[in-house]
Amino acid sequence: MSRIDTVNAVPAHGLQVIQATDVSSGKHEMRADVVVIGSGAGGAVAAYELARKGLDVLILEAGPYVPSSQFSEDFNESLERLYEDFGGQTNKEGDLLLLQGRCVGGSTVVNGCVSFRTPDFILQEWGRDFGLTNLSPEAMQPWFERVEKHLSIEDNAEHEIAGHSRLVRDGARKLGWSVKPFKRNIRDCALTGHCLSGCKTDRKQSMLVTYLPWAMAHGARLHADTRVTRILENGGRAVGVEAEVIGHDGTKVADIRVDANTVVLAAGAVQSPLLMQKSGLGNSSGQVGKNFACHPSMYVAAKYPHEVFPWRGALLGVYVDEFLRPEKGGFVLEAGGLGAVEMTMLNEPGTGKPFMKFMEEARYKSGIVTLIHDHNVGEIRWEDGRKVVDYQVSDKDFPSMLAALKASAQIHFAAGATEVYVPSVEKLVIRQESEIDAVLAKLENKPQRLRLVSYHPQGTLRMGSDPARSVVAPHGESHDVKGLYVTDASLLPTSIIVNPQVTVYALASYISEEILSRL
Amino acid sequence: MTQNNDIPPALLGGLEPLSRRSLLRLAAVSGVALTAGCARVFGRRDAPEALTYVNLTEDEVRVVTQFTRAVLPTSRHGLPDCINEIPTIKNVDIMVGNMDPTQRQLLALGLWVYEYRPMASFKFKRFSKLNEEKAHAYVVAMQEGAFFERGLTTTLKALVTLNYWRDSRTWSALDYWGPVTERWGVRRLGNAPLPQA
């Protein structure tokens, strides 16, 4: 094992990334102590925590390197440059849009900065049902504290609660429901409302401006445009990876082989299981790719009698946690803004004149994002050479979806809304509170009924103590392949209801410590 | 404009060969319609009269144009016209050029279905030949129709509305502020300092 003790200065801006344009054609061989697959929440944190202890770390990122100075604040362009499948990743039925970052920094670059710790009752459930007693609330607390300090995670100040979020707060308070300001990983938010297109001024404390430059200051190397195609194994031990460097025009530039005794898999809960499947590794349990959950979300928009301007101010201000626990419904409601273009995607106000009226009145709209504690009923797999996201909302979860819709409508009406738009494929508008139940009764749990978006894929390389029921051991290592660790949201054995970035950061920190203790 | 029509000959005789699976996959194009290529639009401020279509067939241009007019009666609302001022169809054309072959074929199939799907109440007329009122009614009927009709209509709606409203000339009517950082002169903070041990 090599040891790197030099610590370089963190550059003021940007990263020294090797990109496809820097690589000559042919085959290249490299060596590292640790190869990290993916530069998002799980990969960047692991890279830093391992590099700062002197290990030679190589990070391979499939997506491009886009410096924040090049972010456009144009959501359409951002989808193409920064998101998986140009923002077009869907389930097989096409009624669930699955948004994941695909760039250096991964989804942390394009998320809404919302920072929740894993709820205590979820960690306790993992201990009880999956043998993860090492992840108790008490055991995880120092890891949460560490990442919260590193990423400037604080409660939203009052000026960060925009008009659209204040409406939701007012409505929830009138109903006597618990509502709180979000914690966010941001420094001195500029209130542009363009979080989903990346933060142009580096205020969002994404991996792009935190753990990645820190890892590189400790000697880590980062290659973008480099998609790992296979994890290499010898005698039950990971020994490296094979990868392809793909130019921005889609053509292959070079093949790479990396020899490393430790492989950290952090490509995200869709790509990580696919890579395991393609590598033919680590699946003695038959669980690789199974147990997919994603917090299927809806955007429940409403019209108010006064201007709201949902694109003005911080994107996400407050959340309603009244129904967080499963016995109270198992869902969270998040007050969220959005831009004019996004508004065309999330509701069905009608065709022609009613659609035009809906858009003309865009500045009168506010919205609530619903997140539910969905069961792990989905699967990620290769089929006919293509990625398949096999997920439909379970009948067990549909009542939670309806309850979240109803509560959202109640908040809107309590706050003074005059119309609530049901996020369905057909036109469904609720005009007064007394109509809520009757309108929602028209919804069925069938494909192409609801307009669903997921930002939180998880669960596809489940962590647990029983090798027959899980893929990864409680300390993060594959049950089957020594030296292969997972540090992304694939680990989560159940959905966690809330936004998972802090959970991933904390788990990656913890697992890095476990890796170091085993070297 | 290309004269090619990629519809498999077997389909020209009727709709029977359309399997449910094909239509499921067609619905899956919606994700692509939402984004892929919408974002790869070049020259989106071109004058529409100067535009040529290199990826859509003549028939497809007619269907998409009719659909766009039915969904977006912009001129009646004081907005830039969705065909003559904003290059909505050209934006769609460029998006189609960036689709992979399977997605392209599925979209072609969907547009063909939209054009030819027999509906007794429309006297089996082609969609692109319907008058404005009938075209609007047809889209409404498809939106409220069977599973694949709803999915297809939702896909096409996303396709045209995004490719209209992505043009900054449409934003002032909504009071949408668009990109603001450079206009406001917001300072970049850069990388965060290394944590202290």
Instruction: Tell me the per-residue pLDDT of A346-383, one tens digit each, with 9 for 90 and over.
Output: 788 889 999 999 999 999 999 999 999 999 999 999 98
Interface test with A, best of B133, B162, B174, B183 (most A CBs within 10 A): B174
**Of A6-10, A43-47, A251-255, where does mean pLDDT reach its minimum?**
A6-10
The predicted structure's pLDDT at residue A88:
81
Mean pLDDT of A52-76: 96
Whether B151 has a pLDDT exceeding 70, the answer reads yes
Quote the mean pLDDT of chain A: 95
**Chain A residues lying within 8 Å of B177, measured CB to CB:** 311-312
Distance from CA of A201 to the nearest CA of B (A): 4
| A344 with B161: Cβ contact below 8 A | yes
**Given an 8 Å threshold on Cβ–Cβ distance, is A200 in contact with B188?**
yes
Domains belonging to chain A, first-starting first, are 1-85+103-111+116-150+206-284+459-519 (3.50.50.60), 155-202+297-373+394-449 (3.30.410)
Q: Among A238-242, B40-44, B106-110, which is the least confidently predicted range? A: B40-44
Sequence-separated contacts (24+) of A428-433 with Cβ below 8 Å: A428/A348, A429/A349, A433/A409
Q: Are the Cβ atoms of B35 and A360 closer than 8 angstroms?
A: no
User: Does residue A115 have a pLDDT over 50?
Assistant: yes
Band the pLDDT of B155: cuts 50, 70, 90: confident
On whether the CB atoms of residues A457 and A299 are closer than 8 A, the answer is no
Chain A residues with CB-CB distance to B20 below 8 A: none
Q: Could you say which of B27, B192, B193 has the minimum Cβ distance to residue A94?
A: B27
Instruction: Give percent helix, percent strand, percent coil of chain A, each to the nearest 5.
Output: 30, 25, 45
With 0-12 / 13-18 / 19 or more C-beta atoms within 10 angstroms meaning exposed / middle / buried, residue B118 is exposed
Predicted pLDDT at B95: 80
pLDDT winner (highest mean) among A79-88, B85-94, B148-157: B85-94
- Is A73–B187 a contact, with Cβ atoms under 8 angstroms apart? no
Q: What's the CA gap between A488 and A458, in Å, rounded?
A: 8
pLDDT score, position A26: 93
Listed residue (A37, A337, A293) closest to A197, CA to CA: A337
Helix, strand or coil for residue A346?
A: helix
Chain B residues with CB-CB distance to A74 below 8 A: 166, 178-179
| pLDDT tens-place string over residues A199-211 | 999 999 999 999 9
> Average pLDDT in the A89-113 region?
94
Q: In this structure, how many other beta carbons lie within 10 angstroms of the beta carbon of residue B103? A: 21
Q: DSSP class of residue A311?
A: T
CA nearest A451 in B: which residue?
A: B154
Choose the weakest-confidence range: A298-302, A419-423, B4-8, B49-53: B4-8
pLDDT of residue A229: 97
What percentage of chain A exceeds 70 in pLDDT? 99
Name the residue facing A214 among B154, B187, B194 (closest C-beta): B194
Confidence tier at B45 by pLDDT (50, 70, 90): very low
From residue A117, how far is each of A498, A500, A509, B37, B103 by CA, in Å?
8, 8, 14, 37, 40
- Give the integer Cα–Cα distance in Å for A337 and A331: 19
Q: What is the pLDDT of residues B158-176, one digit of tens each?
A: 889 988 998 999 998 899 9
Contact A86 B189 (CB under 8 A): no
At A213, the pLDDT band (50, 70, 90 cuts) reads very high
Domain boundaries, chain B: 9-184
Q: Are A38 and A61 in contact (CB under 8 A)?
A: yes
Phi-psi region of A90 (alpha: psi -120 to 50; beta: other; left: phi over 0): beta
Q: Which two tokens stand for residue A82?
A: 């920064």
For residue A88, give the nearest of B25, B26, B31 by CB distance: B31
Q: Tell me the pLDDT band of A333, cut-offs 50, 70 and 90.
A: very high
Query: Which helix (DSSP H) or strand (DSSP E) does residue B151 occupy?
Result: helix B147-165
CA contacts within 13 A on the Cβ side of A364: 16
Picking from A194, A351, A425, A428 by the largest number of B CB atoms within 10 A of its own CB, the best residue to mutate is: A351
Element (H, E) at B111: helix B101-116
Beta-carbon separation of A344 and B162 below 8 A: yes
- What are the angstrom distances between the C-alpha of A266 and each of A168, A472, A475, B164? 35, 13, 15, 37
- The shortest CB-CB distance from A88 to any of B34, B76, B161 is to B34
